[in-house]
Structure 1
Amino acid sequence: MKNEGLYVSLAFAALALASPCQAQQTSRQQNSTPQQALDKRQDAFQADKARGVHATYQWELSGPNGGEWWLSVNDGTYKMGRGKIDNPNVTFAASDEDWVSMSNKTLKVPWAYLTGRLKIQGSHSLVKQLDEIFP
């Protein structure tokens, strides 16, 4: 159970998840929707770290700006889209507001996880790999 919080933190450091420290963030536009948070992550993709990785990730976000998003990593490439993916290896669930807050670093990921505002199902080793693929 202790490692789950660490892996969750790593995953969000990757997907919401690798922006500058909060002091520097104020000079940049904050994400206001989950879609913006996920779109912003695409530039951070590290193809070399994704070689040999075959994994699928699902986000299930509740709230007015919520919805479902997926990510598929396949041997150095990735695809991302809106909707559901069959049999994801990892599923993240949170509210749209909490996801955006984690993305903007105003809600700490470990705290969100420990208080039940973020739920994760699936392979924790793949959550950790996600941090390496999207630093």
Structure 2
Amino acid sequence: MDGMPTAFQPDKAAGVNATIQFKFTGAEEGNYIVKVGDGKCEVNEGETEGATVTINSPSDVWLKISRRELDGATAFMSGQFTFTGDMGVLMQMGSWFGQG
């Protein structure tokens, strides 16, 4: 999660204002809030109400997605993680971080 602000590509997220809640289980359990807006990406530990998207995932699955070892769409379709909220934002997220 610490690498997200560095990988963030503000030109790919122009006009985006989104809050993404990550809820990780497994080896690296934890909750994180990622805020994208005004050309910035901020990551903090914690939980928030009213997130644009909430992603529930084993930490190892999300790590593989972030390393491009596992396609996010494939992981979702095979039930490796779940989400609630705006599917459009979920689908766009990869491009904000150089994955699309």
Is the structural similarity TM-score above 0.5?
Answer: yes
Q: CA deviation at 1:48?
A: 2.6
Which amino acid in the other structure matches residue 113 of structure 1? F
Q: CA deviation at 1:47?
A: 2.1
**CA radius of gyration, larger in:** 1
Report the TM-score, using the length of structure 2 for normalisation: 0.80
In the other structure, the counterpart of 2:2 is 39
Structure ranking higher in helix proportion: 1
Among 104, 129, 134, the residue aligned to 2:67: 104
Aligned-pair identity in percent equals 29
RMSD: 1.9
Q: Is the CA contact 1:49–1:76 (under 8 Å) kept in the aligned structure 2?
A: no
Q: Is the CA contact 1:71–1:79 (under 8 Å) kept in the aligned structure 2?
A: yes
Give the Cα separation in 2 of the matches to 1:48 and 1:105. 21
Q: Which has the higher contact order (CA 8 A, sep 6+)?
A: 1
Among 26, 35, 38, the residue aligned to 1:72: 35
Q: How many residues end up aligned between the 2 structures? A: 98
**Structure 1 residue ranges, 4+ long, deviating more than 6 angstroms after superposition:** none
Alignment of 1:6-25 (within 5 A): none
Report the TM-score, using the length of structure 1 for normalisation: 0.62
Structure ranking higher in strand proportion: 2
